Amino acid sequence: MKVNIKDLMFTKFWKKPEPVKQETVVIDMMKDDVDPDELTIENAYKTRWIWYHTILAIGIFFTNVLLIAILLLLAIKL
């Protein structure tokens, strides 16, 4: 059995795949945002969650500043 190189080039394994057209999906990022005029338990939870994590981030920032200051003091004294 003789195998021709041209025959191999046109097999389904050697063909370039045809370009697939992909649809653009638009995601509405603002869909589940909190509306301040609407008073629901879900909106209250989201608002409290934001404030809670903001306060935590501020606390972590000041803790890091304090730790760096202690590290510098120890580095200078020793």
Rounded to an integer, the average pLDDT of 49-62 is 95
Size of the chain, expressed as the number of residues it contains: 78
| Average confidence score pLDDT of the chain | 80
Model pTM greater than 0.85? no
Residue 11: its pLDDT value, please? 59
CB 43 within 8 A of CB 34: yes
Residue 75 pLDDT more than 70? yes
Q: Which two tokens stand for residue 53?
A: 């994590």
| Distance between CA atoms of residues 56 and 62, nearest Å | 10
Report CA-CA distances (Å) from 76 to 34, 54, 69.
Answer: 49, 33, 11
